[in-house]
Structure 1
């Protein structure tokens, strides 16, 4: 999966919390969101002359628009590791975000699991 395919997949599966997502799909989506946030922040600085830490309209809209697909993709990534999607709540704690980064860097289970077939096509 490449950057464009990951962005399209995230948009097409906007609130799909079922199935599995491979590691590359997740990390390319994260890269896509970082690019969107950076562009929105740059446009906010140009259009609204905002400061460094101000809440800005375009960046706020970008966060709102990308929150659900990012959450859904994180749940599908947990499914790929044969874990329940409720583990995503760990990310809302302070230290939990670090644990999620470690888990999301690990490969998913090979072959089908209780959440569906292997997105990489493994047997």
Structure 2
């Protein structure tokens, strides 16, 4: 999945926790939100005079607008590795941050799992090498 497709997919599935998300979908979305947040922080500083530490109105609005898609793409990514989306709450523990990061990085289950078919569709076992 490329950058634009991943961003479009995450916005299209704004509050959809069903199914699975490839690593590429999750990480392209993460890169998009990171870069957009930096750019909006710069705009806030230039236009409104906010400091980078205080957070400006544009960055705050963007963060609020992308909060739900971020939660739900993370849920779908956890589904891809056979975990419930509720495991996101593990970040509230110190060690949990590393466990969650590990699950977000590893390759998803090949074939179908309890959360649905593989995101690449039928024959995904053969295509898995291409998207690693």
User: Does the TM-score normalized on the shorter chain lie above 0.5?
Assistant: yes
CA distance in 1, matches of 2:45, 2:60: 13
Structure 1 runs (4+) deviating above 4 angstroms are none
Whether the aligned pair in 1 keeps the contact of 2:42 and 2:52 (CA below 8 Å) is no
Per-residue deviation, 1:8: 0.4
Structure 1 runs not aligned, ≥5 long: none
**In the TM superposition, what whole-angstrom CA distance separates every residue of 1:54-86 from its partner, at most 9, and x where no partner exists?**
131111101100110000000001111111111
Whether the aligned pair in 1 keeps the contact of 2:45 and 2:51 (CA below 8 Å) is yes
TM-score normalised by structure 1 residue count: 0.93
Please give the residue correspondences for 1:4-43 in structure 2 after superposition, counting only pairs within 5 Å.
Answer: 4-43=4-43
Using the TM superposition, name which of 86-95 and 20-29 deviates more. 86-95
TM-score normalised by structure 2 residue count: 0.87
Does residue 58 (structure 1) correspond to residue 58 (structure 2)? The answer is yes
CA distance in 2, matches of 1:58, 1:95: 32
Count of matched residue pairs? 123
Per-residue deviation, 1:41: 0.4
Structure 2 runs not aligned, ≥5 long: 126-132
Structure 2 counterpart SS, 1:83? coil
